[in-house]
Structure 1
Amino acid sequence: MKRILVPTDFSEHAENALKAAAIIAKKNKCEIFLLHLLELPNQMSDAMTGGASIPEVMLFIKKANETLQKIKEQPFLNGLSINATVQFEKAFDGILSFNKKNKIDLIVMGSHGTSGIEEILIGSNTEKVVRLSEVPVLVIKKDVGEIKFKNIVFASDFSTEIKKPFKKLVEFVKIFDANLSLVMICTPNSFKTTVTAEKTMKEFIKNYDIKNYSLHIFNDANIESGISNFSKTIDADLIGLCTHGRTGLAHFFNGSISEDLVNHTTKPVITFKI
């Protein structure tokens, strides 16, 4: 993870994401790409060819670049390589196209704490990026402060399809020399005996070079509450999940994990596409 993309709408939530990106960048000598997307009204887009409001368009660009420059001068970014870009494109499309063009390794985005995913960029676009991004997406809910990402939870059914994205999680864990808590959530609708669950997890983890890990089985009413409650129990710094592009945070444990987990937990969540 050497190239980190941080989309920003200049909000507090986007700044929280940038602070988290800075922590990762300093640990792993990464380059940060700051991206501000200008989604102009239709009449403004017409002006690009008609010429009527070109000065107004240029003002948007000028102000955006000035704000990006101020952000780059924040003390928490000292010593880091920061590239800033203003781009005319819809937020969701712009993030994914920039990602492919610049060979980004990790996207870090902000979101509301417990109020859900609601606003532009820090809203439905976050959920779309989580669902469709080919690279890992780290969603930050609040000011990370001095978070060290030392205690990371990875919730899964530990099936064969999880193996490839799990390798990326292992890379992230090694950056922070973190302890990884692997957890299988058992519910009334997705029940496994302790013997079966332990066997599945042990068979899965033996293929990876990872030292600081522990295996857990946690019972709860449903998958979402199980992950959230287990993470609180061990005071996790970060929750890791795998996603399917077709349905977002869904369809592992032979069931479905809704976006409620990303919406409602205050802990950072990192997702890896299957």
Structure 2
Amino acid sequence: MKKIIVPIDFSEHSEYALRTATKLAKKYNAEILALHMLEMSDLMLTASDGLQYEKASFFIKLSEQKFEQFLKKDYLKDVHITPIIKHFKVFSEVDDVAKKHHADLIIMGSHGASGMKEFFVGSNTERVVRNAEIPVLVVKNKGIDINFETVVFACDFSEDCIKPYINASKIFEKMNTKVYFVYVNLPNEHFQSSIEIENKVVNFFTKADGNLDKMKDVHYVSDYTVEDGVLNFSLKIGADMIAVPTHGKKGLAHFFQGSIGEDIANHANLPVMTFKI
């Protein structure tokens, strides 16, 4: 882990993310890319009118000063930190920055969301999760333990999940993490028998690892939703983090079908790391 991106909006939640990134950066000797995105309109930035241009320049300079002050934290001493300012608040730009700088991880602070506000508005964190090609770690408090000794990896063991599983395995092996795999069986049209589930898991590990060594770490749970099953299992075993593959659905596909990965990231109290399918 060499480069970590932390989007900064000056909120307490972005500071939670920055604190977490600092701990990881010190542990792995990594660089933090602190990213701030201005909410500047295209009209203001491209206006030929003198007054509009002066306003844009003023707000840019003011934001740069505020960003500089925000990064003057005692806990950032001895950490390699690079500030980056983008002039548009476009969440796909976070992924663009990640690709340009070959970043390994994005860390987002989130307060979560629920009800109609979540359904129609969503959250900045959801938008980043939806667009990011690299793993995203979502944190909701400043005091998390970054050792991550016990992690729950939740998936349906479809072949789509092989790539996220391999990417997650590389990260967790370096962290010396114990990973529990969980499959949630639902009492509806998605219900599967024990034999059907086990055949799917055997196929998954055979194609992903070429062996069945991790079959002993797979747990099958029954619940009314995948989200509830994952959260309840994580609580039961005392997990430090939840890892989930996510499709990053956009547009109408996301509106009607949603994303289990995003829902878990939004509602879990534990840190959640998402991996793009």
* TM-score (norm. length: structure 2): 0.83
**Is 1:87 paired with 2:86?**
yes
Alpha carbons 2:248, 2:259 under 8 Å: kept: no
Size of the aligned set, in residue pairs, is 268
**Is 1:244 paired with 2:247?**
yes
Seen in structure 2, the aligned counterparts of structure 1 residues 164 and 258 have a Cα distance that, compared at 3 Å, is closer
How far is 1:8 from its partner? Answer: 0.7
CA shift digits 1:156-182 (9 cap, x unpaired):
111222111211111221232111010
Seen in structure 2, the aligned counterparts of structure 1 residues 118 and 30 have a Cα distance that, compared at 3 Å, is farther
In the alignment, the residues of structure 1 paired with residue 241 and residue 116 of structure 2 have an alpha-carbon distance, to the nearest angstrom, of: 18
Task: Tell me which residue corresponds to 2:197.
Answer: 197
Seen in structure 2, the aligned counterparts of structure 1 residues 256 and 106 have a Cα distance that, compared at 3 Å, is closer
Higher fraction of helix: 2
Seen in structure 2, the aligned counterparts of structure 1 residues 23 and 198 have a Cα distance that, compared at 3 Å, is farther
Task: Tell me which residue corresponds to 1:152.
Answer: 151
Coordinate RMSD, CA, aligned: 3.2
Letter in 2 for 1:130: V
In the alignment, the residues of structure 1 paired with residue 210 and residue 26 of structure 2 have an alpha-carbon distance, to the nearest angstrom, of: 26
Task: Tell me which residue corresponds to 2:62.
Answer: 63
CA shift digits 1:58-110 (9 cap, x unpaired):
33233333333334332322322100012201231432332232222211111
Equivalent residues in 2 for 1:24-43, closer than 5 Å: 24-41=24-41
**Is 1:233 paired with 2:236?**
yes
How far is 1:114 from its partner? Answer: 5.7
Which 5+ residue runs of structure 1 have no aligned equivalent? none
How far is 1:198 from its partner? Answer: 3.8
Task: Tell me which residue corresponds to 1:51.
Answer: 50
Seen in structure 2, the aligned counterparts of structure 1 residues 184 and 145 have a Cα distance that, compared at 3 Å, is closer
In the alignment, the residues of structure 2 paired with residue 29 and residue 8 of structure 1 have an alpha-carbon distance, to the nearest angstrom, of: 21
In the alignment, the residues of structure 1 paired with residue 105 and residue 117 of structure 2 have an alpha-carbon distance, to the nearest angstrom, of: 22
Alpha carbons 1:38, 1:90 under 8 Å: kept: yes
The DSSP-based 3-state class of the residue aligned with 1:91 is coil
How far is 1:13 from its partner? Answer: 0.7
Seen in structure 2, the aligned counterparts of structure 1 residues 84 and 187 have a Cα distance that, compared at 3 Å, is same
